[in-house]
């Protein structure tokens, strides 16, 4: 006799201050939810693990309200519609969206990012290079940094989900790419698989000196995923007219209060540089154009699949911390089975 399916899910059980750790979560089994009129049931296959989940789990000012204690942890996920009473969603369709760390999610369509139409490609890509990370890289680089062929583009978290896509897109656009990352293994990944011209290990090398050697004419574009000492070094070596996209602050240990670092105003003024904050949620209406281009590059072999997949729901509670310790190589995902 087949066992009844259960809804394995990960609950935020206590409030972290800073990076959430495994014991802030509880894994539990609940009944598979029923759907009502206008709803459909998604069986999730992969859950996303994103640095932003630190902010969602903490009770600090942010662009989304904090996840409540006792609630399913908010996350992106991809899965298949297994039952539907909604006119626009049919059984068997693959969807990605904000479904949370749970095996079964009920939706009315409001939390769906998109129907995943690339059935020739793995569905996990819809959470990485064909998902939030890919579109972040695409618009953050193209709109934020406005690179032109021949520019020197520096990327922090160069081997990660967003960074690896930024480096590869910049290369496709004819730029010289310099990646900054945190281990010898990731340096090799950057130069051998992701096509960076130079990769710098910020844990082992003098980043200032390494950047000087790698960027003798200065840095035209900086895709900043870290803030902190890496960005401090980049800011001293800007070329005239440099463009900086501030996409993430993963190196900031505290948000409340935010630590004070070097004052960047003179560096910006002398280089006549532009530094702009970036939030992908502002680009929702333009996701299709980016996904179409990114999927074409994946099919042409120009964008490499760069994923780190953990097995089973029980791995999720410790996964956010892995990002902040640099233990992931590529887009961090949980495969739910
Ligand atoms: N603004 C937006 O709309 C938006 C959207 C998506 C993502 N993001 C941001 O993009 C950045 C990358 O996200 P992701 O999902 O692609 O994660 P990821 O790069 O796959 O994983 C995070 C990486 O951060 C690096 N890291 C951790 N602590 C660090 C530190 N103290 N100093 C320098 N690097 C450190 C680690 O790589 P190393 O081993 O190389 O250090 C780690 O692998 C994050 O800052 C994230 O918040 C922003």
| pLDDT number for residue 310 | 98
Domains of the chain: 6-128+305-335 (3.90.180.10), 132-281 (3.40.50.720)
Backbone φ and ψ of 107, nearest 5°:
-135, 150
Residue of 98, 326, 331, 334 with the most ligand 1 atoms within 8 Å of its CB, for mutation: 326
How far apart CA 159 and CA 187 sit, in angstroms, is 8
Tell me: the pLDDT tens digits for 272-326? 999 999 999 999 999 999 999 999 999 999 999 899 999 999 999 999 999 999 9
DSSP 227-248: -HHHHHHHHTTEEEEEEEEE--
Q: How confident is the model at residue 104 (pLDDT cuts 50, 70, 90)?
A: very high
- The DSSP letter of residue 301 is T
Residue 163 CA to ligand 1 centre (angstroms): 8
Strands 274-277 and 238-246: parallel
Render pLDDT for 136-169 as a digit per residue (tens, 0 to 9): 999 999 999 999 999 999 999 999 999 999 999 9
Q: How far is the centre of ligand 1, averaged over its atoms, from the C-alpha of 20 (Å)? A: 15
Average pLDDT, the chain: 96
For residue 2, what pLDDT band results from cuts at 50, 70 and 90? Answer: low
Whole-angstrom CA distances from 25 to 104, 120, 154, 316 are: 18, 35, 36, 9
Measured from the Cα of 162, ligand 1's closest atom is 16
CA dihedral 288, 294, 295, 298 (to 10 degrees): -170
Q: Quote the tokens at residue 131.
A: 């998902």
Q: Which two tokens stand for residue 69?
A: 């204690």
User: What per-residue confidence (pLDDT) applies to 256?
Assistant: 78
Q: How far apart are CA 284 and CA 97, in angstroms?
A: 12
User: What is the per-residue pLDDT across 183-219, written as a single tens digit (0 to 9) for each?
Assistant: 999 999 999 999 999 999 999 999 999 999 999 999 9
- Give the closest residue (by CA) to ligand 1 atom 18: 160
- The Å distance, Cα 7 to ligand 1 centre, comes to 30
pTM to 2 decimal places: 0.95
Which residues, listed in sequence order, are joined to residue 94 by a DSSP beta bridge? 80
Protein residue closest via CA to atom 32 of ligand 1 = 251
Number of neighbouring beta carbons within 10 Å of residue 35? 18
Residue nearest to ligand 1 atom 46, measured at CA:
248
CA torsion 214-220-224-230 (nearest 10°) is 40
Which residues have CB under 6 Å of ligand 1? 50-52, 132-133, 136, 157, 159-163, 181-183, 186, 225-226, 228, 230, 247-248, 250-251, 278-280, 323-324, 326, 328, 332
Residue 322 CA to ligand 1 center (angstroms) comes to 11
Region 237-261: what's the mean pLDDT?
92
Give one DSSP letter per residue of 170-239, joined into a string.
HHHTT-EEEEEESSHHHHHIIIIIS--SEEEETTTS-HHHHHHHH-TT-EEEEEES--HHHHHHHHTTEE
Place of tokens 């003024």: 269
């Amino acid at each position: 006799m087949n066992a009844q399916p259960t809804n394995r899910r990960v609950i935020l059980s206590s409030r972290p201050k800073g990076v959430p750790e495994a014991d802030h979560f509880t894994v539990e089994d609940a009944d598979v939810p029923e759907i009502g009129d206008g709803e459909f049931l998604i069986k999730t296959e992969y859950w996303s693990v994103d640095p932003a989940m630190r902010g969602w789990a903490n009770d600090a000012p942010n662009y989304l309200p904090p996840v409540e204690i006792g609630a399913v942890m908010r996350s992106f996920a991809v899965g298949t519609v297994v039952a539907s009473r909604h006119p626009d969603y049919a059984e068997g369709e693959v969807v990605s969206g904000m479904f949370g760390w749970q095996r079964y999610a009920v939706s009315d369509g409001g939390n769906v990012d998109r129907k995943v139409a690339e059935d020739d490609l793995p569905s996990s890509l819809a959470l990485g290079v064909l998902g939030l990370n890919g579109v972040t890289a695409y618009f953050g680089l193209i709109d934020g940094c406005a690179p032109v062929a021949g520019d020197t583009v520096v990327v922090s978290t160069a081997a990660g989900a967003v960074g690896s896509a930024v480096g590869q897109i910049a290369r496709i656009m004819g730029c010289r790419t310099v990646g900054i990352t945190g281990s010898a293994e990731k340096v090799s990944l950057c130069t051998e698989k992701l096509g960076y011209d130079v990769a710098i290990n910020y844990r082992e090398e003098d980043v200032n000196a390494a950047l000087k050697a790698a960027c003798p004419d200065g840095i035209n574009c900086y895709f900043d995923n870290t803030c902190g000492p890496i960005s401090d070094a980049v800011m001293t070596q800007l070329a005239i007219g440099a463009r900086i996209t501030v996409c993430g602050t993963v190196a900031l240990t505290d948000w409340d209060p935010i630590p004070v670092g070097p004052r960047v105003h003179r560096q910006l003024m002398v280089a006549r540089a532009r530094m702009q904050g970036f939030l992908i949620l502002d680009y929702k209406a333009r996701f299709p154009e980016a996904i179409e281009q990114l999927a074409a590059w994946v099919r042409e072999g120009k964008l490499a699949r760069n994923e780190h997949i953990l097995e089973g729901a029980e791995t999720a509670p410790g996964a956010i911390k892995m990002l902040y310790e640099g233990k992931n190589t590529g887009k961090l995902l949980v495969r739910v089975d």
